[in-house]
Amino acid sequence: MIFEEQLERWLTEAFVQAFPGEAVVAGRIGVTATADERNGDYQCNAAMGLARLLQMKPRDIAERWVAAAPKRDGIEDVEVAGPGFINIRLTSTALAQWLIVMENDSTLGTPAVGRGRTVVLDYSSPNVAKPMHIGHIRSTVIGNALDRLHRFLGFRVVADNHLGDWGTQFGLLIMGYRHFRDEHRLREQPVEELERLYVKSYERSRADEEWLAAARRELVKLQQGDAENLALWQQFIDLSMQSFEPIYDRLNVTFDLARGESYYRDQLGAVVQLLRDRGLAEESEGAQVVRLEAEGMPVCIVQKSDGGYNYATSDLATIKQRMEEFAPERIIYVTDERQQLHFKQCFTIAHKLGWAPSLVHVWFGLMRLPEGTFSTREGNVIKLERLLDEAEARALKLVQTASPDMTASDQAAVARAVGIGAIKYADLSQNPQSMITFTWDKALAMDGNSAPYLQYACARINSVRDKFRSRFPDQDLTDCPLVLQEAVERRLALRLTRFPGTIMRAVELLRPSILADYLYDLAQTYSSFYQNVPFLKAPAGVRESRVRLGGLVASVLRQGLDLLGIETPDRI
């Protein structure tokens, strides 16, 4: 049970004491961290919400409530304030005890609430035959953080890269490949060449109906299993995967599965049949559609009039397969906002079919350039590879000036962690549901609220720790009590205790930014601590306590950054 839950249980007991007949509401009593430390450490706002139910003034409820509270170790002070806030101040001893619990726990006090539960995470999902560009980074980075957060809570996670590897574009691509390919370019930059071939073929198809018809024929051949086209298609996939791998590698992202849409292609007919059998799908203008007017949505086409299948069908087949194979309680999709309607339709149909998993779409706003939308046609696409290169190059310059004595290979490793971390953090530290205008300076910020700020805080802690060890080699810190005397020490301890609750909230709301905000706040508090009190020159006792506290901050920062997919080098 985490710290907040202990307080909630205590308040609930008190409430039952004070209002014996009203136990019904006891489940809804929660505490939150105070925004302003003058109001204590935690606050409970339940009294105001209960005023109507209890027919009493909130202030009176709170006072009676507090008066009935049983004695409890660890609580310094409880008081009623304002309209009926209950403010709780903890003793330093209680904070210190909880810190020691965290210190001795491999998950820093976070309970394994996900044990025995399964979630499927569908994220990244780039299209075959197109290079990954900056528009792909958000799904990849947010999805991966959700993946890590769930695993940390003990969930079994099935991370699936649902590649766009099937569909009508392959007819055009095959035509482009046959007629326009440049062998040299194909060897040097295969995916860029494939994209060029597709674009060229697409443009030709708009002016040349015969070309378009030929592309359709190639697509039909592919779908019917024509050996030659199948081999070409497989080659496109292989080339694309080879180009994605180094990027995933640099981003430190791994999947359990990479099942593209093609994986489900033999199940699509059965899905449409199922929808017909259940009376959900019907014929309309030669196509099979599911009507969703009653749900306030437009119709969803599940089979085209030419017999081909759509995206919705594919996603339904995917849900079915995942249910049967993994029995997840939840499937989470991380994509951009344009797919909101699509998923709403899919989820609605899945529910109509009685499918059990909770289906959640975590969406994020599109990325744009200051000059407007980017598009392949206009050639203003920024490739992901270039973004990562640029980030590492900028970080390397910083490392070289800050740590000139480091070996070149260490500098490169640190630059990688700092540069990639900066990019990931830029995406993870904000609520994703707004459009992002990409600028180099924003994506690669290395000061203020940024990953390097957090990494820097860790490096300073490590440095203090090492100096302490060399000066006091025999001192075992775990034997030294934590003393939380200074206001900033207490503040820091309080922040630390909030780690488990923060993780749980981030997972509950599927928002890694909650964790990022917390880590930044913690690092800021630490930096203030670091800058304003002495460590190694402090008196014995206080000195050990401070170094030990710093160690715990480092553990939390390192763990938290790891959950965001960001590395923490020992020095930067």
Pick 119 or 289: Cβ nearer RNA: 289
Which CB sits closer to RNA, 104 or 431?
Answer: 431
* HSE (side-chain half, CA atoms, 13 Å) at 372: 4
58/186 with CB nearer RNA: 58
- Subset of residues 78 to 137 that bind RNA, contact rule: CB under 7 A: 81-83, 85, 87, 127
**DSSP states along 218-262:** HHHHHHTT-HHHHHHHHHHHHHHHHHHHHHHHHHT---SB---GG
Quick note: the x/- pattern for RNA over 244-263, rule CB under 7 A, is: -----------------x--
Element (H, E) at 333: strand 330-336
Tell me the closest approach of the beta carbon of residue 556 to RNA, in angstroms.
Answer: 17
321 binds RNA (CB under 7 A): no
Directed axis angle between helix 487-497 and helix 92-103, to 10°?
50
Per CB under 7 A, the segment of 93-101, 271-279, 463-471, 478-486 that binds RNA is 463-471
Q: What is the distance between the alpha carbons of residues 558 and 539, in angstroms, rounded to a whole number?
A: 28
Q: Closest CB to RNA among 103 and 427?
A: 427
CA angle 64, 69, 72 (to 5 degrees): 160
User: For residues 313 and 298, is the Cβ–Cβ distance under 8 A?
Assistant: no
72 binds RNA (CB under 7 A): no
Across 442-457, b (16+ Cβ under 10 Å) vs e yields ebbbbeebbbbbbbbb
Q: Do 173 and 127 meet the contact criterion of CB atoms below 8 Å apart?
A: no
State which of positions 194-233 bind RNA (CB under 7 A). Answer: none
φ/ψ of residue 75, rounded to 5: -105, 120
Q: Is there binding between residue 166 and RNA (CB under 7 A)?
A: yes
Amino acid code (one letter) for 92: S
Contact between 278 and RNA (CB under 7 A)?
A: no
Work out whether 520 is an interface residue with RNA (CB under 7 A).
yes
> Residue 492 interacts with RNA (CB under 7 A)?
no
Closest CA to 363 of 281, 435, 455, 452: 435
Whole-number minimum distance, CB 467 to RNA, in Å? 5
CB of 342 to RNA, least distance (A): 5
Give the residue, chosen from 185, 265, 342, 383, that forms a contact with RNA under the rule CB under 7 A: 342
Provide the minimum distance between the beta carbon of 357 and RNA in the complex, in angstroms, as a whole number.
21
In the 8-state DSSP scheme, what is residue 70? Answer: P
Check the CA dihedral 35-40-43-48 and report its sign: negative
Q: Which of 161, 240, 513, 568 binds RNA (CB under 7 A)?
A: 513
Q: How far is the CB of 198 from RNA (least distance, A)?
A: 12
Place of tokens 């203003």: 380
What's the start-to-end Cα distance of the chain, in Å? 36
- Which among 450, 519, 509, 512 has a CA at the least distance from the CA of 139? 512
305 binds RNA (CB under 7 A): yes
Amino acid sitting at position 421: G
Residues 282-301 that bind RNA (CB under 7 A): 284-287, 289, 296, 298-299, 301
**Are 68 and 47 spatial neighbours (Cβ–Cβ below 8 Å)?**
no
The reply on whether position 572 binds RNA by CB under 7 A is: yes
* Closer of 185 and 276 to RNA (Cβ): 276
Q: Tell me the window of 7-15, 141-149, 242-250, 432-440 that interacts with RNA (CB under 7 A).
A: 432-440
Is residue 15 within the footprint of RNA (CB under 7 A)?
no
Q: CA 385 to CA 244: how far, in whole Å?
A: 10
Count of residues near RNA by CB under 7 A: 104
Question: Smallest distance, Å, CB 188 to RNA?
Answer: 27
Q: How far is the CB of 465 from RNA (least distance, A)?
A: 9
Of the residues 104, 273, 373, 485, which one makes contact with RNA according to CB under 7 A: 373
Query: Which CB, 251 or 522, lies closer to RNA?
Result: 522
CB 379 to RNA: min, Å:
18
Window 440 to 459, contacts with RNA (CB under 7 A): 442, 445-450, 452-453, 456, 459
Residue closer to RNA, measured from CB, 235 or 524 = 524
Give dist(CA 527, CA 69) in Å, integer. 37
Comparison of 116 and 372: residue with beta carbon closer to RNA: 372
